Structures are given as C-alpha cells and as structure tokens.
C-alpha cells in the first residue's frame, strides 16, 4: 500500500482521543527533519570525540548511496556501525539522557504533536536505535512504548552490528507492531514515507505527514515539561555542513582559546576588557557598579550576587569592573584554578565553615558569589542558597548572560578543566554584565530583620525579571541527577520527576 492512499495529518481530528492509541514514526513524522545524521553525529562527537565525528562524516556519503540504491536498512546500518562500534553502552545511554532531548525537542512537528499528544496511549515505532531515542520519548513526550532498532552489545560495549530482526523499516516495522500489540489494532498510525505504509495499514486510521520545510517547530511552552537541564558541548544541531565546520574549526579555535585565556590571565585586569575585544570576545556592561570599598577595620566589602552561566562569570565580572574580584566556588578544576586571573576559594559545603570564610574574605574587600551553586543554560534561575544573605547587608545583584555559537562552556558529565577552553573556542563569544541597584538596607537581614530566604528569593526574582528568565526551585543536586546520574558528589539514580518551575 502506498503512502498516497493515506490522508494527510491535517485531516486527523484530535478531539476526544483520550482513549485512543497512536503509533508514530520518528524522523519526518514526530520530528520535522527526515535525516537522522545530526543525531548520530551528536552521539559520535559527545562519546567518541572529533575523530569519531570525522569518521561518521566521511562515511555518510556511502550511507546515502546505500540508502537510495540498495535499501533504507543498509544505509542506516552503516550509520549505526560507524557511530556505535566500540562505544560503552553506559556512555550512549548517558548522552541519550543528557544531550539528545534538547535537540529532539526543538524539532517537533506541530501537526504530529497535536495528534500524538491528544491520545491516551502513545507508541513510537522507529528505525533509530532504541537506546538513542527512548529517554527523550518517554521522559519528555510521554511515550508509553518505544519500538526501535536494537544494537548488538558485547561485554558492555556496542558492536556496531544490528541483531535480528535488523533495522526497523518496512516489513520489520509491521512485524514489530504485530508482536507488541497482538490481535489488538492501534487506532492511529502516523508515518511520512512509503516504507511506513506496512505498519500504518495495521492501524484503524493512517495519516501521512508530508514534507514541508517551512513548518515551524513546536515551541517549548507546549511541551509536557521544558528541557531545563541539558549537557553536551555542541550548541547547534550538527548537520553535515555544520559538522564539517566544527571539525575544521576546532584546531584553529583551540589555539585562539589559548591566546584568549593567556590574555585574561597575564594582562593587568584594567587591560583585559580591551584585549578581549581585540581578540573577538565581546563584553557588554550595563548599569552602574559600586566603587571599591575603602579598606578599614570593621568595613565590609560588597558581595556581588551573580547569576551563574559558566565558571567564567566572576572573571567577566572583574573584567567589567576593571579590577580583580575574588570568588567563592563550589567546585572548580585544578587547571581552572591555575589559569584563573582572580583568586578562587572553594566552599567546603559545611555551613559554619563557609560562613566564617566568606566573612573573612569580605573583611579584605569585595567578593563574588553565584548562589545557584551550578550553571543553567536555559532561561531559568535555579534556587538561590540563602547563606550569603546572613553574612552582609552590602549586596549587589549582577545579571550575567552569555552567548555561544558553536560550543557550550559548561559540562556535567565531562572534564570541567576544558570548560574555559570550549567557551573561548567559540568564534565570537559574548558576555553581558548588568549591575543592578545595591539592595536597600530595609530589604536585608541585618538592618531590617528579613529572613535569609526572603532576601535570597527577592534577589533571584530581581535578576530573573532583568533577564526575562523564570525562577525555579531546582538545585544543584537536581541538575546532576538529571544529567550525570549523581548529585555531583555521590553516585545516585537520575531522576527529575516534577517540573518545579514557579512564577517570579
């Protein structure tokens, strides 16, 4: 049966489908894009690095030839072998959980999602490796069942081969659907190509999703829950062209990053601002920062309360001020401490010890702190730790926001020592530092008797309003459980079950 015999997705009603079962293909159906190369490229780069990405890019033309002139199954098998061969299964699962949802969720087809989300039971039948797509489909789209291509595994590593029944295309999709549902017939089948016709014919209703490049993706506010936490180094979806540009740029970008880091570390702080501009790093300063506090006995320095985007926040704060501002940090690599142009002091996570240390540092001058405790890439602010509000009434909120076009300068799964290098490897990274008004004494703990939580929540709301971000009650532990499977220090099972976004 050809796909032309099925009506288009626009003709599928979505009202009153709460008791219906939908079975949908993925590439070209649930997702707007029909090519799975970018998602294989993400796994290749995030697990195997630049050499694996290069190998996949070189193999992709052969995969295309086999896809069109031999079979769809043969082309996909080449991509699977080149991408997965030799990889640890645990690493693939980690990338599928922490990296892929951001890219998948930004490519959802609006009409397919309208129908898929309206049904009470949801199944996805896809030629993609199940290990690569299942975490996103179940955690973010509410899929009850994912039937995908299985990959061969030997001693915890992927072999690159596909065991029987092979890649789920054509008849294999129909057989998998029969095996999963038995004699019961799904209500709706969604597909986008002729090889989807066999499984669509097994459903009570079948609808085809025509290729329309102009269709806009579903916006994040229409998803069951937003993708607040995500990991991985790549900012853009690596299409073949972007993958080629990344491969060609990395050697140049690394040398440029070394030069930028050297300029920030070795030059006097008043000159760093101009050196960054000369080297393509844009720093925009708005608001009026307070003058340096005159050192005298009993005179406390200003505590700058910064939103946390990368570990470079205090450095760009110092760049904006033209003077080095020490920073207290929760965790930073030894390499980052060595190359840092400012003093960094590690917090012990013992409340009394940290409070005493911060008070001592404030007696010596101004200080910077990021009370979120970890970074967040999306337009959200994590919960502010309230300890800082108890230690001084001289509080200046600072709204930090940055822009990266190629690489993210943060990681939860990788080596944090490379974070500054990846940030500065971007062709033209940018930071915007906005100094807000110093907190009035009537809103502080010491002078007005406010609780530390009231002060912390107020500053969180002020910074969020400035950046047009949303406040959340998520913490550092929530992030690491979602992305790395631990709380940042102790191995634990990954879980974020609730969307804890709250209004500002």
**Domain-by-domain residue ranges, the chain?**
3-212, 267-502
Q: How confident is the model at residue 213 (pLDDT cuts 50, 70, 90)?
A: confident
Question: For the chain, what is the mean pLDDT?
Answer: 91
447 or 445, which is more confident?
445
DSSP state of 407: B
Q: What angle do CA 11, 14, 15 make, to 5 degrees?
A: 125
Distance CA(128)–CA(62), nearest Å, equals 18
Pairing assessment for the beta strands 430-435 and 395-403 based on DSSP bridges:
antiparallel
Residue with tokens 């097994």: 202
Answer for the pair 306, 313: CB distance below 8 angstroms, yes or no: yes
Q: How confident is the model at residue 463 (pLDDT cuts 50, 70, 90)?
A: very high
Task: Give the DSSP H or E segment for 346.
Answer: strand 344-346
Q: How far is CA 398 from CA 285, 306, 419, 467, in A?
A: 11, 5, 22, 10
pLDDT at 492: 36
Return the biggest CA–CA distance within the chain. Answer: 86
353 or 98, which is more confident?
98
127-148 mean pLDDT: 96
Distance CA(61)–CA(462), nearest Å, equals 52
Q: How confident is the model at residue 347 (pLDDT cuts 50, 70, 90)?
A: confident
Distance CA(304)–CA(380), nearest Å, equals 19
Q: Is pLDDT at 3 greater than 70 in this prediction?
A: no
Q: How far is CA 357 from CA 57, 308, 327, 415, in A?
A: 51, 21, 12, 27
Q: How confident is the model at residue 489 (pLDDT cuts 50, 70, 90)?
A: low
In the chain, % of residues over pLDDT 70: 95
pLDDT at 346: 85
pLDDT at 331: 72
What are the tens digits of pLDDT across the range 174-207? Answer: 999 999 999 899 999 999 988 899 999 999 999 9
What are the tens digits of pLDDT across the range 74-107? Answer: 999 999 999 999 999 999 999 999 999 999 999 9
What are the tens digits of pLDDT across the range 255-289? Answer: 999 999 999 999 999 999 999 999 999 999 999 98
What are the tens digits of pLDDT across the range 431-446? Answer: 999 999 999 989 888 8
Answer for the pair 119, 21: CB distance below 8 angstroms, yes or no: yes
**Strand partners of residue 346:** 329
The correct CATH number of 267-502 out of 1.10.287, 3.40.720, 3.40.1130, 1.10.405 is 3.40.1130
483 or 447, which is more confident?
483
Sheet containing strand 188-191, strands side by side: 145-149, 121-129, 21-24, 188-191, 205-208
Burial of 233 (0-12, 13-18, 19+ CB in 10 A): buried
Task: Give the DSSP H or E segment for 77.
Answer: helix 72-84
Residue with tokens 């910064």: 306
pLDDT at 350: 81
410 or 331, which is more confident?
410
3-state secondary structure 206-231: EEECCCCCCCCCCCHHHCCCCCCCCC
What are the tens digits of pLDDT across the range 219-238? Answer: 988 888 889 999 999 999 99
Distance CA(283)–CA(303), nearest Å, equals 21
Q: Give residues with Cβ within 8 angstroms of 316, minimum separation 6.
A: 283, 400, 402, 431, 433
Q: How confident is the model at residue 2 (pLDDT cuts 50, 70, 90)?
A: low
Q: How many Cα atoms are found within 13 Å in the side-chain-facing hemisphere of 408?
A: 23
Q: 311-323 burial, b for 16+ CB within 10 Å, e for fewer?
A: bbbbbbbbbbbee
Q: Is pLDDT at 485 greater than 80 in this prediction?
A: no
pLDDT at 504: 41
Q: 444-454 burial, b for 16+ CB within 10 Å, e for fewer?
A: bbeeeebebeb
Burial of 437 (0-12, 13-18, 19+ CB in 10 A): exposed
Q: Which of 4-8, 58-62, 102-106 has the lowest mean pLDDT?
A: 4-8
Question: What's the topology of domain 3-212?
Answer: Rossmann fold (3.40.50)
Q: How far is CA 46 from CA 174, 330, 364, 412, in A?
A: 33, 25, 43, 12
What are the tens digits of pLDDT across the range 279-328? Answer: 999 999 999 988 887 766 567 889 999 999 999 999 999 999 999 999 99
pLDDT at 297: 58
66-74 mean pLDDT: 92
Answer for the pair 201, 161: CB distance below 8 angstroms, yes or no: no
Q: 171-182 burial, b for 16+ CB within 10 Å, e for fewer?
A: ebbbebbeeebe
CB atoms within 10 A of CB 457: 19
pLDDT at 335: 82
pLDDT at 473: 94
Q: How confident is the model at residue 491 (pLDDT cuts 50, 70, 90)?
A: very low
Burial of 267 (0-12, 13-18, 19+ CB in 10 A): middle
């Amino acid at each position: 049966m050809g796909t032309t015999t099925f009506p288009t997705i626009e003709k599928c009603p979505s009202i009153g489908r709460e008791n219906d079962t939908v079975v949908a293909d993925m590439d070209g159906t649930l997702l707007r894009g029909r090519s799975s190369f970018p998602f294989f490229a993400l796994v290749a780069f995030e697990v195997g690095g630049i050499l694996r990405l290069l190998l996949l890019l070189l193999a992709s033309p052969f995969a295309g030839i086999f896809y069109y002139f031999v079979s769809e199954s043969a082309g996909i098998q080449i991509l699977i072998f080149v991408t997965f061969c030799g990889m640890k299964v645990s690493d693939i699962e980690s990338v599928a959980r922490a990296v892929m949802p951001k890219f998948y969720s930004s490519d959802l087809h609006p009409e397919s999602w309208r129908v898929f989300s309206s049904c009470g039971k949801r199944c996805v039948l896809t030629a993609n490796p199940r290990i690569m797509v299942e975490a996103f489909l179940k955690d973010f789209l509410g899929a009850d069942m994912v039937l995908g291509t299985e990959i061969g595994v030997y001693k915890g590593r992927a072999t690159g081969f596909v065991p029987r029944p092979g890649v789920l295309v054509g008849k294999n999709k129909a057989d998998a659907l029969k095996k999963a549902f038995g004699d019961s017939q799904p209500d709706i089948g969604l597909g986008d190509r002729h090889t989807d016709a066999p499984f669509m014919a097994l459903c009570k209703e079948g609808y085809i999703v025509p290729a329309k490049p102009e269709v806009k993706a579903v916006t994040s506010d229409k998803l069951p829950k937003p993708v607040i936490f995500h990991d991985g180094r790549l900012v853009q979806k690596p299409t073949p062209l972007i993958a080629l540009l990344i491969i060609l740029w990395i050697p140049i970008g690394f040398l440029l990053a070394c030069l930028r880091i050297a300029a920030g570390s070795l030059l006097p702080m008043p000159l760093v601002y101009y050196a960054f501009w000369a080297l393509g790093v844009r720093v925009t300063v708005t608001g009026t920062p307070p003058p340096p506090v005159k050192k005298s006995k009993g005179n406390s320095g200003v505590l700058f309360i910064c939103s946390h985007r990368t570990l470079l926040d205090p450095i760009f704060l110092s760049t904006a001020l033209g003077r080095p501002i020490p920073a207290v940090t929760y965790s930073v690599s030894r390499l980052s401490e060595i190359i840092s142009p400012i003093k960094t002091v590690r917090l012990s996570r013992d409340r009394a010890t940290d409070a005493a240390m911060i008070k001592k540092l404030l007696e010596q001058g101004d200080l910077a702190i990021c009370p979120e405790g970890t970074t967040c890439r999306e337009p959200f602010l994590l919960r502010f730790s309230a300890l800082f509000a108890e230690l001084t009434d001289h509080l200046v909120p600072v709204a930090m926001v940055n822009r990266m076009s190629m690489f993210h300068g943060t990681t939860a799964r990788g080596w944090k020592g490379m974070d500054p290098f990846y940030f500065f490897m971007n062709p033209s990274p940018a930071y915007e530092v906005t100094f807000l008004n110093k907190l009035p004494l009537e809103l502080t703990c010491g002078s007005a008797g406010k609780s530390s939580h009231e002060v912390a929540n107020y500053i969180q709301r002020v910074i969020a309003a400035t950046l047009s971000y949303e406040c959340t009650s998520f913490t550092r532990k929530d992030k690491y459980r979602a992305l790395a499977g631990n709380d940042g220090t102790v191995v634990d099972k990954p879980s974020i079950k609730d969307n804890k976004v709250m209004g500002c």
